[in-house]
Amino acid sequence: MLIDATRTPAREIVFDTETTGIDPGSGHRLVEIGLVEMVGRVETGRVWHAYFNPERSMPPEAQAIHGLSAQFLSDKPLFSELVDQILEFIGDSILVAHNAQFDMGFLDHELGRCGRAVLGNARAVDTLALARSRHPGSKHSLDALCTRYGIDRTHRIKHGALLDAQLLAQVYIELTGGRQIGLDLTQASCAQPEVAAQARSGPIIVQRPVRPARLHAADPLELERHAAFVARLTDPLWQEA
């Protein structure tokens, strides 16, 4: 059972995977993963991304989705060669994915093949379930949610794990309360870990120079024109008893 995503953990990893198919139990493998770090629902700018050699052929229907051919992946590292880096980046953080059971299933399958402990769904937040709960009867694909929330996806030609994880991070913010959670930091500020750390520890104090007061008094000519205008008014309200 997936956890309640209304909680706000200090650090979350939004991630996406690309695979050779839909069922790891049928011999399908993970070929790409993209991880995006968020702290206090603010992207820190830290990401982790890699392609993997699946040690098998690539079905045409899968390649049509992500564009990754067996030839392209043939010289990429095995998952087992990078598993330590993946686990170090993830740490003990909550994992956020769209249709999390699918992505967690492939990630756990690859971990099991390496003799590592699986992560399981207990630490997963499923944005698909969140979207279905918040927008019943609507389309809940990543594309549809980007359109709903006005998130630019014009550069998304095919599925890609890192790009999709970055888009999903923005969708996740909207699904869980919007930009106010992240103090509405600018994109440039969010890319700096020290700014994100400051946002976690308390309000951000911005020092601005004090501007001298501007004079707004009317000049004599303006006062004269105003008096002439008022004199032409017939039965003004302020003269009523």
Q: Which residues are annotated as a binding site for substrate?
A: 16, 18, 61, 66, 164
Q: Under DSSP, is residue 14 helix (H, G, I), strand (E, B) or coil?
A: strand
Q: Which of 28, 109, 140, 159 is catalytic?
A: 159
Q: Give the number of other CB atoms < 10 A from CB of residue 64.
A: 10
Lookup: tokens for 14: 């939004």
Has 159 been annotated as catalytic?
Answer: yes
Q: Which amino acid is at 230?
A: V
CB-based contacts of 22: which residues, under 8 Å, 6+ apart? 28, 102
CB-based contacts of 16: which residues, under 8 Å, 6+ apart? 33, 34, 97, 98, 103, 161, 162, 164, 165, 168
- Alpha helices, DSSP H, located in the chain: 60-66, 70-73, 79-90, 100-113, 127-134, 142-148, 161-175, 187-190, 193-201, 220-231
* Binding residue positions for a divalent metal cation: 16, 18, 164
Q: What are phi and psi of 193, to 5 degrees?
A: -60, -35
Whole-number Å distance between alpha carbons of 108 and 225: 81
Instruction: Write out the catalytic residue numbers.
Output: 159
